[in-house]
Amino acid sequence: MKLVIAEKPSVSMAISRIIGAAKRQDGYLEGNGYLVSWCVGHLVELFEPATVALHGLFRTPYQGGKNVAILGGGTIGLLLMQWAKIFGAKQAVVSGTGEERELTAARVLEQIRPAVTSRLDKETAGEIIRDIRGILRNLFREQVGQEEVVFVPLLHHLLPATHIQLDVECEDWREAVRAAARPLYEMGYIEERYISEVIRNVEENGPYIVISPGFAFPHAGLEGGSVRVGMNLIRLRTPVSFESGAYDPVEFVCALSAVDHKTHLNAFFNLVNLLRSEDFKEAFRKAETSREAAQVIEKYENGIGS
């Protein structure tokens, strides 16, 4: 069985007709040895793209060990490739990655070289190419260095004890979203309208924020009222329905405020990895205080990859 995921529903429908995957299932199409799925919220300005990519993968009965073809090499397509690898894809291939647009010193020099060598004698051209190569290498090295000084928080940086509340009482999913996001507003991470924006997005687009059984990750787009990057996590005393099918009921709700599409990614990838561990979830359930819960997160996050 091969898995094909498109960034847009319209593309997935066209592909399914071509490859003979005509049987409509809940969230995907199936047939002729293929599963075909798509991403909801493919406009990355609207939702947090890593979540959209993960949701696209989980729309199918994906269990790992499959060959995965991803149509579209934008932000979501590349994130889909990473998720597929994390969840055990035998092979993940992205079409239209736009690698030809990737700028490196070597690629710039490739474009310059013919113009220099065609106009100058071999010795002079060689000297100029060497000078240009040195300039380009220094320039690209400076750019990499500038990027490396930016602090990229891990999950336990974004979820200290002050950002965790336990045994919160909520009657429905809307109340749970408000309870998870309200502390971010009170601490200055989001504007008040952010909470309403999250609820509106779910009402219009479905429970895309439920990213794992029992776990919701509410968030809005970058223009929805984010002020600075942050998270706040609540553990519900009584799990509630998010109308997300097999992923209900939800017992953990973690609100995200994202200021770009990159800063929070390490924390988010680590969170998804932790959610695959029943030991982690059980330890988090047993935590009696916010401080203990924060220690559980840091302990298990430090163990990722070890």
pLDDT digits (tens, 9 = 90+) for 142-189: 444 444 445 678 999 999 999 999 999 999 999 999 999 999 999 999
177: domain CATH number? 3.40.930.10
| Whether residues 82 and 179 fall in one domain | no
| Whether residues 162 and 219 fall in one domain | yes
Examine residue 58 and state whether it is found in any structural domain, yes or no: yes
Report the C-alpha dihedral over residues 222, 227, 232, 236, rounded to 10 degrees: -70
Taking 50 as the pLDDT cut, the residues of the chain under it are: 41-46, 97-103, 142-149
Examine residue 114 and state whether it is found in any structural domain, yes or no: yes
Residue 272 and residue 191: Cα distance in Å, rounded? 26
- Which residues constitute the domain of residue 137? 110-122+129-148
N-term to C-term CA, the chain: 32
Examine residue 104 and state whether it is found in any structural domain, yes or no: no
Examine residue 103 and state whether it is found in any structural domain, yes or no: no
| Whether residues 44 and 73 fall in one domain | yes
| Whether residues 269 and 247 fall in one domain | yes
| Whether residues 27 and 133 fall in one domain | no
pLDDT of res. 72 = 63
Interior angle at CA 114, CA 111 and CA 116, nearest 5: 105
pLDDT of res. 165 = 98
Examine residue 269 and state whether it is found in any structural domain, yes or no: yes
How many domains, in total, are found in the chain? 3
Burial class (CB in 10 A: 0-12, 13-18, 19+), 70: buried
Which run of H or of E encompasses 229? none
| Whether residues 94 and 142 fall in one domain | no
pLDDT of res. 46 = 41
| Whether residues 260 and 169 fall in one domain | yes
Residues constituting the chain: 306
